[in-house]
């Protein structure tokens, strides 16, 4: 059963396991520093489909199928499926997952969706209501560009603070296998808005949300950053990461030794010309599934906080001059369980 530590912060007493995970990505991500770790790298940005939206759905289908295969379970053994993406009305998920016939919750948390989905999957399995859940998210550079920015062949130039949407999907299966990596805690993000209006500076818009969620989790669990091997945010990029450290520094929390960011891990920023780093739902999801979980499984890292970050604006709100609200959901991953009470 889960224990409520403070508002929106939960300790998962049964420590559900991640039984299987998969990351499917595009060519550019395959050329990045984590390239060899992904389950599949697609050279064709269309994945054999005729539109980029269908390609993105395909990424989700393949990610879930691969994660299920690796966990050794079939779709009908999954009690709930949590999924989301960046496309309007989350069509990446609903079209990509319709054949699976798993009870489905479509989520929108922008690029924080993996934190939201994984957190809910963990809470539902920990509660004992269901035995096994899955979470998946995706993003696709081409489908995101045309929805949020300009056509691909348009010769506009991005400012240095802009980020590059990751083409990729990550899926996890959460269940009671009793093997690491374990899920030990969840913190639900609160919407934070410090008035950033620049659509090309999402890192700055999301950093306050990440700072707030991390601070709340540390406070509720009475832990320090040094109690963790890594504290990894979703896609703050270079600008947002600097701001996060600055914001928490003002609260006497020093994250500099433990902090990393999926948006900075997935690409070689200079060589791959991605400006401030990677972004998108697929960014944190694919880095989680290909890299973070492996490091925990191998025992190199023991305690990890994973905090996907999302910018909750739409093209309409931005055009109307509204500022960009941010959100960040935290999941505490570990190679060890909480000390378990003696079995009777």
Residue ranges that bind other proteins, judged by CB under 8 A: 50-53, 146, 150-157, 159-161, 192, 194-196, 201, 204, 208, 211-212, 238-239, 242-243, 246-247, 250-251, 276
Least gap, CB of 293 to other proteins (angstroms)? 30
Does an H or E element contain 297, and which? helix 293-297
CB burial class (10 A; 0-12, 13-18, 19+) of residue 254? middle
Name 6's Cβ contacts closer than 8 Å, sequence gap at least 6: 216, 219, 220
Complex with other proteins: residue 86 or 123, whichever CB lies closer: 86
Complex with other proteins: residue 175 or 234, whichever CB lies closer: 234
Complex with other proteins: residue 49 or 302, whichever CB lies closer: 49
Least gap, CB of 145 to other proteins (angstroms)? 9
Complex with other proteins: residue 146 or 336, whichever CB lies closer: 146
Least gap, CB of 79 to other proteins (angstroms)? 36
- Closest-CA residue to 86 (of 66, 69, 115, 107): 107
Complex with other proteins: residue 70 or 146, whichever CB lies closer: 146
Does an H or E element contain 7, and which? none
Distance CA 70, CA 177 (A): 13
Distance CA 115, CA 137 (A): 10
Least gap, CB of 172 to other proteins (angstroms)? 30
Least gap, CB of 186 to other proteins (angstroms)? 21
Q: Which two tokens stand for residue 324?
A: 């960009």
Whether the Cβ atoms of residue 290 and residue 70 lie closer than 8 Å to each other: no
Least gap, CB of 328 to other proteins (angstroms)? 12
Complex with other proteins: residue 156 or 321, whichever CB lies closer: 156
Name 169's Cβ contacts closer than 8 Å, sequence gap at least 6: 23, 24, 25, 56, 59, 60, 62, 63, 136, 137, 138, 139, 282, 285, 286
Distance CA 28, CA 277 (A): 13
Complex with other proteins: residue 19 or 56, whichever CB lies closer: 56
Least gap, CB of 200 to other proteins (angstroms)? 9
101: left (phi over 0), alpha (psi -120 to 50) or beta: left
Least gap, CB of 66 to other proteins (angstroms)? 27
Distance CA 176, CA 78 (A): 12
Whether the Cβ atoms of residue 65 and residue 89 lie closer than 8 Å to each other: no
Complex with other proteins: residue 158 or 336, whichever CB lies closer: 158
């Amino acid at each position: 059963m889960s224990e409520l530590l403070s508002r929106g912060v939960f300790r998962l007493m049964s420590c559900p396991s991640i039984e299987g995970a998969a990351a499917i990505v595009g060519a550019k991500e395959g050329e990045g520093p984590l390239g060899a770790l992904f389950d599949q790298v697609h050279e064709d940005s269309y994945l054999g489909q005729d539109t980029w939206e269908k390609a993105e759905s395909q990424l989700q289908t393949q990610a879930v199928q691969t994660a299920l295969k690796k966990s050794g379970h079939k779709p009908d053994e999954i009690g709930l499926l949590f999924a989301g993406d960046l496309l309007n009305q989350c069509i990446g998920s609903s079209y990509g997952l319709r054949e699976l016939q798993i009870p489905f919750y479509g989520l929108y948390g922008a690029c924080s969706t993996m934190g939201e989905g994984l957190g809910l999957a963990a809470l539902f399995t920990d509660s004992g209501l269901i035995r096994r859940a899955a979470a998946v998210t995706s993003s696709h550079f081409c489908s995101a560009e045309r929805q949020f920015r300009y056509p691909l062949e348009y010769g506009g130039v991005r400012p240095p603070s802009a980020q590059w949407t990751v083409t990729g999907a990550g899926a996890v299966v959460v269940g009671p296998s009793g093997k690491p990596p374990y899920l030990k805690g969840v913190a639900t993000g609160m919407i934070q808005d410090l008035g950033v209006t620049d659509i090309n500076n999402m890192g700055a818009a999301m950093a306050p949300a990440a700072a707030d969620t991390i601070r709340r989790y540390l406070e509720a669990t009475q832990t320090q950053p040094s109690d963790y091997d890594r504290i990894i945010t979703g896609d703050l990029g270079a600008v947002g990461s600097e701001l996060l450290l600055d914001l928490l520094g003002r609260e006497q929390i020093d994250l500099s030794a433990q902090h990393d960011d999926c948006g900075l891990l997935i690409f070689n920023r200079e060589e791959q010309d991605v400006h401030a780093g990677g972004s998108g739902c697929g960014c944190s999801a694919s880095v989680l599934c290909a890299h973070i979980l492996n490091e925990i499984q191998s025992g190199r890292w023991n305690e990890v906080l994973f905090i996907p970050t999302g910018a909750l604006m739409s093209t309409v709100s931005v055009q109307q001059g509204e500022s960009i609200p941010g959100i960040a959901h935290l999941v505490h991953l570990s190679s060890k369980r909480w000390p378990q009470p003696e079995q009777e």
